Amino acid sequence: MRSRLYPVFKYTVIALWACFVAGPFLWAMTTSFKNANAVQGGPTYVPWAQYEPTLTGWRNIFGGAGGVDVIEPFVNSAVVTVAASAISLALGSLAAYALSRYRFKLGFIKNGDIVFFFVSQRIMPPVVLVIPFFYLLQWGGLLDTIAGLVIVTVALLLPIAVWVMVDFFNGIPREIDEMAMLDGCPPFRTFVRAILPNSLPGLTVAAMFCAVFGWNDFFFAFRLTFTEVQTLPQAVVALNSSIPPWWTLSAAALFGVAPLVLLALWVERLLSKGNLSGAVR
Amino acid sequence: MDGLRRHKSMFLLPGLLTLFLIIIFPLLFTIRVSFSGWNVSNPQLDFIGGANYTAMLHDGRFWASITRLVLLAGGTVLIQYLIGFGMALLVWREVRGRRFWRVLFLVPMMTTPVVMAAIWQTIFHESLGPANDLLEVLGLTGIPWLTESGPALVALMTVEVWQWTPFMFLLLLAGLLSLPKEPFMAAAIDGAGTWRTFRKVTFPLMAPVSVAAVVIRLIEASKLSDSVYVLTSGGPGSSTETPGYYLYIQGLRDQQTGYSGAMSLTYLVLMIVTLTVVAALLTRAFKLKGDS
């Protein structure tokens, strides 16, 4: 049925899309090894043949003159992402376990409505939240601090954690809980000893989503931290001025997205095991 | 039994309380702000009635940004769905270097939107960027990508498609991989061709995942503002402003706090209504049960 031309068609399409996907990264890679001369001369792509590569951009992001220090923003981003993800996963999986195992009824509100209430937070445009957050953090003395940014990032991540984990817990057989309970295990210990160890795939997926959203947040960090705490997206955007220090910008950008690209490699492995298919349902 | 009841609340309460503090409080605060004349020169929570809402009704720039968002989000999500589904179908079955393609296709979704938007800005540079270079290689003339409204919208959509098609791809591929085998065998026995199998088997089976993916993407796309900020700053003029970006301009940059509160809430309500209707229509169109 399939013509002999089908493979040609298939690989052509895949290759074209691959070029489109990889293009910006290759462009950033070549640009990061340029200097003012190489950039002002117009677009070039092949180092040595078309331009002389230099390390100016990469030196600039590691404290070189006229550059920007990315180490501190990197550490800030990492601390905020890890802390907010951990809190969201802890609170989220507890809540998700309750929603998956017990039946709640508050008037007309049932389990599904509570899950929806969590998830509906994702509909909220950040701008609705950011002004109240500003005053909440100011009132708590947490404006422009890591702790403050962690708290607001939890607001972004908690719904994702609940959403992924409810689905996942629903797929874990109840017999596991019942056996632990029969052995005299109180509910909390059942959760920690019997359920969590069986939930690593789900927790991994939830952690992955949390890490991506936490690391990529710009808006909250931009409005709620200023001089004391700068995250990596802030540092990169600050470089994005009209006179192009493109080499520094590109180096900083590649440095900033590298952790998530490494995460993508690992996520693909999860995907091929089929673990994600349960989590997106 | 009483112990169990206490426990179940203990599990749920921490998360629920956190959510209340970070959602309900800001929402109530914004409602209150929207009825105040709070601005840069008068940071007061005075009550001025519905004046902000009246002003909003006459604010053409706000409504234009909403119309633009509907077109932008609708258009890009549709393109993302078509490409994402197409690529998922191509990579689903036998393909050489499958893992390599999958990793490559996933990467844009994982990268920071504002950071990649900054790279895209250099790509779209009129004389120094590769976008126009490519056009010239193809024998076309360069386009002033970011300084004219039409091309600027195309640039914005290109970045969105680049960034979020992988999300569609990921969800749809996961959906394809978890499909049961029997319907395909049955179709093969019936002698159904590729197109017919797709239309009668694959697509209907994929409808729940498709609807979920499209709705999730619409929700995220409706908040579009970060890449606008980096790529075009809403310009030229206000021709690429989205509500998210216009609200940022009004509320945070110009500190028309009360006014932006009123617009934020209106925008939120419009979004919830639109998304509910879209979700319901899609669900009905594909005859899905209420649970997806």
Q: What is the ipTM of this complex?
A: 0.88
Q: What distance in Å separates the CA atoms of residue B212 and residue B7, rounded to the nearest whole number?
A: 33
Averaged pLDDT for residues A253-276 = 75
Chain B residues with CB-CB distance to A23 below 8 A: 123, 130
Structure tokens at A248: 């520094």
Domain residues for B145? 61-291
pLDDT in tens, B189-246: 888 888 888 888 889 889 888 988 998 899 889 888 888 998 888 878 888 899 989 9
Averaged pLDDT for residues B134-145 = 86
Give the other-Cβ count within 10 Å of A20's Cβ.
Answer: 15
On the 0-12 / 13-18 / 19+ scale of CB atoms within 10 A, B157 is middle
Q: What distance in Å separates the CA atoms of residue A195 and residue A177, rounded to the nearest whole number?
A: 7
Distance from CA of A187 to the nearest CA of B (A): 7
In a domain, B149, yes or no: yes
Answer yes or no: do A264 and B106 touch at CB < 8 A: yes
| CATH class entry, domain A70-250 | mainly alpha
Residue B290 above 80 pLDDT?
A: no
Binning chain A into helix, strand and coil, the percentages to the nearest 5 are: 75, 5, 25
Nearest CA in chain B to A123: B219
Structure tokens at B169: 């791809």
pLDDT of residue A201: 80
In a domain, B232, yes or no: yes
Chain B residues with CB-CB distance to A219 below 8 A: 225-226, 248
Prior bond of B236 cis (ω within 30°): yes
With a pLDDT cut of 70, the percent of chain B lying above it is 96
pLDDT in tens, A217-246: 888 888 888 888 889 988 888 887 656 688
Nearest to A206 by CA among A171, A170, A157: A157
The β-bridge relationship of strands A109-110 and A105-106 is antiparallel
Q: At what angle do helices B60-92 and B98-110 cross, to 10 degrees?
A: 170
Q: What pTM does this model have?
A: 0.88
Residue A6 identity: Y
DSSP H helix total and E strand total for chain A: 14, 2
Chain A residues with CB-CB distance to B125 below 8 A: 244
In a domain, B100, yes or no: yes
Nearest to B115 by CA among A55, A65, A251: A251
Q: What distance in Å separates the CA atoms of residue A189 and residue B157, rounded to the nearest whole number?
A: 50
pLDDT band, residue B187 (cuts 50/70/90): confident
Give the other-Cβ count within 10 Å of A93's Cβ.
Answer: 27
Element (H, E) at A105: strand A105-106
* Chain B interface test: which of A70, A120, A128 (most B C-beta within 10 Å): A128
How far, CA to CA in Å, does B130 sit from each of A53, A217, A226, B230?
18, 28, 34, 18
How far, CA to CA in Å, does A133 sit from each of A50, A157, A246, B15, B222?
50, 15, 34, 18, 21
In a domain, B4, yes or no: no
pLDDT in tens, B28-69: 999 998 898 888 887 778 888 888 898 889 998 999 999 999
Answer yes or no: do A268 and B90 touch at CB < 8 A: no
Averaged pLDDT for residues A125-152 = 88
Whichever domain contains B228, its CATH number is 1.10.3720.10
In a domain, B14, yes or no: no
* Chain A interface test: which of B1, B7, B12 (most A C-beta within 10 Å): B12
Answer yes or no: do B26 and A91 touch at CB < 8 A: no
B116-B117-B122-B125 Cα dihedral, nearest 10 degrees = 150
pLDDT of residue B289: 53
List of E strands, B128-283: none
pLDDT band, residue B78 (cuts 50/70/90): very high
Contact B256, B250 (CB under 8 A): yes
Q: What distance in Å separates the CA atoms of residue A165 and residue A220, rounded to the nearest whole number?
A: 25
- Number of domains chain B is built from: 1
Place of tokens 């809980």: A177
Contact B178, A277 (CB under 8 A): yes
Provide the β-strand partners of residue A160.
none
C-alpha distance across the termini of chain A, in Å: 33
Of B3, B91, B104, the CB nearest to A21: B104
Q: What distance in Å separates the CA atoms of residue A240 and residue A246, rounded to the nearest whole number?
A: 8
In a domain, B37, yes or no: no
